Structure 1
Amino acid sequence: MRATTVFSLLSLFLPTVFGSLGGLPNKIYGVNLGSWLVLESWMLPQEWLDMGGEQCDDCSTCIATEFAFAKAYPDTVDEIFDGHWTSWFNQPDVNALKANGINTVRIPLGYWIVEALVDRATEFYPRGGLAQLRRGLQQLNEAGIVAILDHHALPGVAAVKQQFAGNCITTPLFYTDYNYHRALIWTSVMTALSHVDPAHPVMVTFQQNFVKVVRATEFCLGVKTPGVGAMPAPADGNCTAMLSQVNGSIFTDEVRSVLLDAGPILMQLGVGGLSQKKTQLVTSFMDINWQYNNPANPADAAIGPQGYDNHLYYSFGGVANADPVSYMTSICNLKRVQNDAALGNSPLWFGEWGLPTQFSPTDAFLRQWADAQKLMYSQGAGWIFWNFKVEISDLAGGLGRQWSYLEGVKRGYLTKDPSKYNNPDVCVPYIRSKSAAVSGPAGLAFADGQVPY
């Protein structure tokens, strides 16, 4: 069986993209391939030091990110990172995921994987990631595992003092016309690769402009798109010459400019011709809970098929009191799938979650905690665990116990068949009465459905 590759642009309130909903499994049982093509050194502390990186409490003050590493080691960075990419995720990892019933992976990507977008005078990143991505996708395809490609790290940096941004800085620089434009060029290039490159069996303004770029690029590749005028697409997939003539609401001045800038990059990559899929990709956004500005409803930006993602971590606080009963009461009464559906944010999947807590959990609790989260997230389109693995080393300590999916299966917290549970009735003692107000985790009384998360 050959799998579908799905693309998503997921970064807080920012949008994403995918292949058709038909390309996703009926129920997603997935893991993230974190620290592969966007390295987060906290997950592999010993390897990072061995590579030449550094550790520090404030990641902006030492060699803690790909940007800082490439700047410090310009002559060797590409070779060193090629070794990391090859060893961190490879065929044995694919075999392990397949053996444990995983049908989907989410692959965080940085904008620098499209190397032509990088300003080499001021920006420093390793090169060669796209070839590694193609290698990994081929291995996943052969195993029948769907891949969601996640635009995790945006041009200029959207999230400050975070390793996952690729560059740890104190002021976000993404929110400028220049960097918006670069992110939209990335969108057009990856959309074209998804339709034309055989290694990408299917895929990414921010909100409205984002969707329009996907649909306009598809139009150029011969894929019918709502909102486009009657003029036929070019026979070779290159619509540069006809951009001034084509009409339709998706071809704004910004979209035309993006397509013109994406064209030379695609030529450099040797990508051309019409779509091999002939079906629309599915745009996807972080759901309304993660949106910005009042908040905007991502469902309003849809042109064609669309899906939604949500992330939920209890370990960072603000969700439930730090004790087992509060955690279980909170998760077992989760209403995010239902509440999102009422606002058009459906289908919904949970693209990041894990077993970490704010207290010291027993093995027995972690089995309950894993079951309860799987039960609740499976009310929607499914779930994707963070992360598929973390480093096993003295320096990493017990990190794998709560952050590694494969280690969680080994320890029995997570079932080998991801559709099964250690105890399918794990939530029964914690489900609130629908007719009476009860005391919530924070000691506040509230009725069913009026939950503080």
Structure 2
Amino acid sequence: MRPFLVYCALSLPLFVQAWLAGEHKQIFSRDGVDLFNRSSIFEAGLTSKRSLPTQNGNAVKVRGVNLGAYFIVENWMANTVFSGFGCNTKSEFDCVSSLNDQAKADADFQGHWKSWITADDFKKMVSYGLNTVRIPVGYWFLESIVDQSEHFPRGGEKFLDQAVQWAKDAGLYVIIELHGAPGAQATDAFTGQYNPSPGFFDTYNYDRACTWLEWMTNKIHTNPAYSSVGMIGLVNEPVRIGDSRYPDASSQTLSMRENYYPKAWTTIRNKENALGIAKDQQVHIQMMDKKWGSGDPNEFLPDKTFWHAAYDDHEYVKYTSASVSHQGYIDFSCKDDRSGNVPVIVGEWSLSVPDNVQNTDDWNPNNAANKDFYQKWFAAQVMAYEKGDVIGWTFWSWKTSGLNDPRWDYQMGVDAGIILKNIDDAYSIGAC
């Protein structure tokens, strides 16, 4: 689950573009001119040949899903997975530790990786009109950087390679991001370890993360399966300034911006240069947008042109100040402005509502009387996350297990009729 505070409302959009009928799929199109490949738009930003999804040769908005609970299992959304292993824990680290049997843990998790997602899942995504998949990965998939005090499942790399190949075969654009960083970047099971005191923010763990990024960059440019991977995320949802759980957040996030981001940026670019990768073939380096609340990610970057930079924005309306009513949620999303660092993707969002109302009849997603609301709220969010300099979205998540809530599960949402199977219908059902 995505925590906890109301998001900061800082933004510095370069320009705002209103939606016009028939143009929502284009990244930036004015007067018939495709601006996507013009470097002047973002000071040579999104111009790589690894740019973003295309359709008929034209760049289009990102429309995708996350592979949550695949390579980082979170018990809240996949409790049948952990229970099948004999775990009753929040995170993978705790699960492996509680089993006290590394061979069993490895076998259990490899069985999960083998069966949780198949090639048919990626084909199904395409049939729903999706063009992108965001794959959260933990640092422990590079087993050489895991130290003896850490307990994680082993043998995941070949399953990651297979998933990326399947995504490529299906024609999907791929974003890979370091979801679980060494030492944990927040107190949350999505890091792979429920660490009450995040330990990511020091030189040792920055160095390990950069070793992971160098390894991943090499894969992207030398393994043909990874040719559809165009974006690599440096760290997911680090601590935020002002979160009462993190008294050291100000110094931690300053350290991250001042030390980790520049080192990570340089590590990726140096590896690409060593491999002889032309500038227009380099990956996009994605950081959390400054609205996340960890400061401006560009502040200390060594390359002030921000060549091939991208930004990750997460918007869970249930955690905002939106008026808790059907119309209140629709109105909030219709007016939601996610512009900020440019270009930005809303990398996580859902149809989940506040805990105190989510199980009531008025908000039951399986109640036919609520179908119209959820469809319109889905549509309102799609439009908000495709508006102006927001270049698209990836829904959290593609699949859950045991949760039985279509508001978090894209496939279940389509089956329940609350997620539009034809995403373009979002612009015609009268949500906003």
Is the pair's TM-score, using the shorter chain for normalization, greater than 0.5?
yes
Q: Distance in 1 between matches of 2:297 and 2:285?
A: 14
Distance 1:20 1:53, change over 3 A: farther
1:346 corresponds to which residue?
Answer: 342
Q: Is the 8 A contact 1:291 1:298 kept in 2?
A: no
Judge conservation of contact 1:409–1:415 (CA < 8 Å) in 2: yes
In the alignment, does 2:380 pair up with 1:372? yes
C-alpha distance in 2, partners of 1:309/1:163?
19
Q: Which residue of 2 aligns with 1:435?
A: none
Amino acid at match of 2:84: D
The answer to whether the aligner puts 1:197 opposite 2:197 as a matched pair is no
Q: Does 1:388 align with 2:398?
A: yes
Contact 1:18–1:282, Cα closer than 8 Å, also in 2: no
Tell me the TM-score normalised to structure 1 length.
0.70
Q: Could you tell me how far 1:135 is from its partner in structure 2?
A: 0.7
Q: Is the 8 A contact 1:21 1:305 kept in 2?
A: no
Alignment check: 8 A CA contact 2:50 2:281 kept = no
Cα distance per residue 1:70-111 (max 9 Å; x no partner): 222322111111110111111221222122121100011000
Equivalent residue, structure 1, for 2:154: 127
- The Cα of 1:133 is off from its aligned counterpart by 0.5
1:209-258, CA deviations, whole angstroms, 9 ceiling, x for partnerless residues?
22111111111111256xxxxxxxxxxxxxxxxxxxxxxxxxxxxxxxxx
CA distance in 2, matches of 1:29, 1:189: 27
1:14 alignment counterpart: none
| CA distance in structure 2 between the partners assigned to 1:287 and 1:18 by the alignment | 19
Partner of 2:51: 22
Using the TM superposition, give the Cα deviation of residue 319 of structure 1 relative to its aligned residue in structure 2, in angstroms: 2.9
Instruction: Tell me the equivalent position of 1:246.
Output: none
TM-score by length of 2: 0.73
Sequence identity, in percent?
31
Q: CA contact under 8 A between 1:355 and 1:402: conserved in structure 2?
A: yes
Secondary structure of 1:105 counterpart: strand
Gaps of 5+ in 2: 1-45, 55-59, 233-258, 364-369
Q: Secondary structure at the match of 1:410?
A: helix
Equivalent residues of 1:18, 1:284 under 8 A apart: no
What is the root-mean-square deviation in Å for CA atoms of aligned residues? 2.1
2:422 maps to 1:417: yes
Hey, what's the Cα distance between the residues in 2 that align with 1:69 and 1:22?
Answer: 38
Map of 1:36 onto structure 2: 70
Answer whether contact 2:82 2:95 (CA < 8 A) is retained. no
- Cα 1:20–1:183 change in 2 (3 A) is farther
CA–CA distance in 1 between the matches of 2:261 and 2:129? 34
1:443 maps to what in 2? none
Q: How does 1:40-439 map to 2 (within 5 A)?
A: 40-54=74-88, 63-71=89-97, 72=99, 73-119=101-147, 121-160=148-187, 162-201=188-227, 202=229, 203-204=231-232, 205-224=259-278, 279-292=281-294, 295-298=295-298, 301=301, 302=303, 303-315=306-318, 317-337=319-339, 340=340, 345-358=341-354, 359-360=357-358, 361=363, 362-379=370-387, 380-391=390-401, 393=402, 396=403, 398-399=404-405, 401-421=406-426, 423-427=428-432
Residue type matched to 1:384 in 2? T
Q: CA deviation at 1:423?
A: 4.3
Q: 1:224 to 1:136 in 2, by over 3 A?
A: closer
SS in structure 1 of the partner of residue 320 of structure 2:
coil
Partner of 2:182: helix, strand, or coil? Answer: coil
Cα displacement string for residues 254-280 of structure 1 (whole angstroms, at most 9, x for unaligned residues):
xxxxxxxxxxxxxxxxxxxxxxxx722
- The superposition leaves residues 23-50 of structure 1 with CA deviations (integer Å, 9 ceiling, x where unpaired) of 4341111000000011112112223212
Q: Distance in 2 between matches of 1:22 and 1:210?
A: 20
Between 1:358-367 and 1:211-220, the stretch displaced more is 358-367
- What amino acid sits opposite 2:329 in the alignment? Y
The letter of the residue matching 2:104 is: T
Q: What residue in structure 2 maps to residue 266 of structure 1?
A: none
Runs of 4+ in 1 over 6 A off after TM superposition: none
Q: Which amino acid aligns with 2:419?
A: L
Output the amino acid matched with 1:172. P
Whole-Å separation in 2 of the counterparts to 1:325 and 1:419: 22
Residue 22 of structure 1: SS of its match in structure 2? Answer: coil
Q: 1:283 to 1:347 in 2, by over 3 A?
A: same
Cα distance between partner residues in 1 of 2:408 and 2:379:
15
Query: C-alpha separation between the residues in 2 aligned to 1:300 and 1:412?
Result: 46
CA shift, 1:206, in A, is: 2.3
- 2:425, 2:314 → 1: CA distance? 22
Question: How far apart, in 2, do the equivalents of 1:185 and 1:416 lie?
Answer: 40
SS of 1:308's partner is strand
The one-letter code of the counterpart of 1:144 is G
Q: 1:12 maps to which residue?
A: none
Q: Which amino acid aligns with 1:49?
A: S
SS at match of 1:187: helix
Cα 1:19/1:80, change in 2 over 3 Å:
farther
Q: CA deviation at 1:307?
A: 1.6
Which SS does the other structure have where 1:336 is aligned?
coil
Contact 1:18–1:148 (8 Å) recurs in 2: no
Q: Gapped runs of 5+ residues in structure 1?
A: 1-16, 55-62, 226-277, 428-453
Contact 2:48 2:308 in 1 (8 A): no
Q: Distance in 1 between matches of 2:126 and 2:155?
A: 26
> Which amino acid in the other structure matches residue 157 of structure 1?
A
Kept in 2, the 8 Å contact 1:287–1:298? The answer is no
